[in-house]
Amino acid sequence: MLTRALLLRVAGPSLLMSLVFLVSCAAAAMYLSRRQAATVRSLDDSLRSRRIVDDLLGDLDALVVIALDGSGGDGASGLHEHFRGLLDESRRNLQGADEARLVDRLEAGFAQYLASTAAPGRAGLAILETEIRAAARELDLESARETARAQAAMHRTASWMVWGLAGVGAAATAAGLLIGYGVVRGLERMVIQAEQMAGVGQIAAGMAHELRNPLTAISMLVQLQREKAQEGGLPAEDLQVIEQEIGRMEERLNAFLDFARPARPRWRLVDLVETTAQTLALMQGRASKQRVDLKFHSPAAPVLVEADAEQIGRVLINLGLNALDAMPRGGRLDVELEQEPDGSVELTVNDTGPGVDPKHLLRLFEPFFTSKEAGLGLGLPISQRIARDHGGSLHAVNRPEGGAAFILRLPAVARAARPV
């Protein structure tokens, strides 16, 4: 279930990143649109000034024809007015200092020309052809340059837009990947923490449960003694109970520690025939007492594995004692050791007890799972961990002929897991 904190941790960074992204995209879009509008405006202006220059040059040609003709008159004054109007329009549409200077020159030339028309002769023609035409040509060139500049600026803005769009796409993809990676890492850490916490909680609960009973027994005895303090020391039976309970607590604490902090295997080349025989010998006494027929079926040759003999011995003791627990009224305990052609080894502990209750089969290796009144439920989890530390496995089956079988598999020497 997603808690609010988890949701905040997962969704928070992505929301923040998206917001930052949105704001930067909006700012970039605004900047580009302003730039685009400005370049369009300056292109319009430069095109307009080109049109005016074209008209000025047209008027100039007509004025030259009139001056050559020497007629003057009505046509000339209309043309003069038109020319004047074009100069005014030019002034309103100026594109920088160069154009202003040229329009000044045109106006001065035009004024000179108008003054010359008062007197007869060809002075006006000379002014038109030299001063005014030169200035008009320069203005034409200048406005052509301005148009080219405006077009280049427009292309630049367009290519900025393309790059901007590609940048936004790439940044969005990268941000998505980054956020995804961050979220997955965060979740992973949280899951690991949650698992660790659950493990710690489980061990603490099991430990509290296991230590509470002996502690209650001890404290009851001590309390009782305090109430009748005048009678002297504790009776021998009570002291024995206290000693037993303390022993039980010690044993349980050691099992907890084994489970919580397993020792690293000390690797040696081990003959499993020898290790198994020695370990089973330790259980022979209890087996005989319970009328359990204990047999070891081993190959004639040594079975060599790379292992920690002490840890393998502990697995065997756990499995053997469980088998004996399952056969309180006698039975058969058969331990079989076989080496496969590939060098791997199978050690099976078979009993003739009632077998494992099918509904318990999946839970046998869970820490603290026990069906016994005084059981701790750590023998099988510890044994399975040892098997895995050796690169092998441990699992349980119910035998078709009755009873349970626990199978320990260990890899061949070359494949055995070795710590670095």
Cβ-based neighbour number of residue 301 at 10 Å? 9
Query: Which stretch in 115-123, 288-296, 366-374, 412-420 sits in contact with ligand ADP by CB under 6 A?
Result: 366-374
* Footprint (CB under 6 A) of ligand ADP, residues 48-107: none
294 forms part of the interface with ligand ADP (CB under 6 A): no
391 forms part of the interface with ligand ADP (CB under 6 A): no
Identify whether the C-beta of residue 401 lies closer than 8 Å to the C-beta of residue 384.
Answer: no
Nearest approach in angstroms of CB 241 to ligand ADP is 22
Cβ proximity to ligand ADP, 142 vs 210, nearer residue: 210
Of 283, 287, 345, 376, the one binding ligand ADP (CB under 6 A) is: 376
Cβ-based neighbour number of residue 201 at 10 Å? 10
Binding mask 306-335 for ligand ADP (x = CB under 6 A): ------------x---xx--x---------
CA angle 165, 168, 173 (to 5 degrees): 130
Nearest approach in angstroms of CB 369 to ligand ADP is 6
Strand positions, DSSP E, 259-411: 268-271, 292-297, 304-307, 331-339, 345-350, 393-398, 404-410
Query: Which stretch in 224-232, 245-253, 296-304, 350-358 sits in contact with ligand ADP by CB under 6 A?
Result: 350-358
Structure tokens at 29: 């879009």
384 forms part of the interface with ligand ADP (CB under 6 A): no
Residues 141 and 136: their CA atoms lie apart, in Å, by 9
356 forms part of the interface with ligand ADP (CB under 6 A): yes
Helix residue ranges, H only, 290-344? 309-326
Nearest approach in angstroms of CB 242 to ligand ADP is 23
Write the DSSP symbol of residue 131.
I
351 forms part of the interface with ligand ADP (CB under 6 A): yes
364 forms part of the interface with ligand ADP (CB under 6 A): yes
399 forms part of the interface with ligand ADP (CB under 6 A): no
Structure tokens at 243: 């000693």
The torsion of the CA quartet 28, 31, 34, 36, rounded to 10 degrees, works out to -60
Phi/psi at 393 (nearest 5 deg)? -150, 160
Cβ proximity to ligand ADP, 345 vs 378, nearer residue: 378
Structure tokens at 301: 């040759």
124 forms part of the interface with ligand ADP (CB under 6 A): no
404 forms part of the interface with ligand ADP (CB under 6 A): yes
Mention every residue, 6+ apart, whose C-beta is less than 8 A from residue 215: 245, 249
Residues 46 and 147: their CA atoms lie apart, in Å, by 5
Integer CA distances (angstroms), 243 to 28, 30, 214, 376, in order:
81, 85, 10, 19
Cβ proximity to ligand ADP, 270 vs 324, nearer residue: 324
Of 112, 151, 290, 370, the one binding ligand ADP (CB under 6 A) is: 370
Cβ proximity to ligand ADP, 30 vs 253, nearer residue: 253
> What value does the CA radius of gyration of the chain take, rounded to a whole number of Å?
51
Cβ proximity to ligand ADP, 86 vs 356, nearer residue: 356
350 forms part of the interface with ligand ADP (CB under 6 A): no
- The binding site for ligand ADP (CB under 6 A) comprises 318, 322-323, 326, 351, 353, 356, 360, 364, 369-372, 375-380, 404
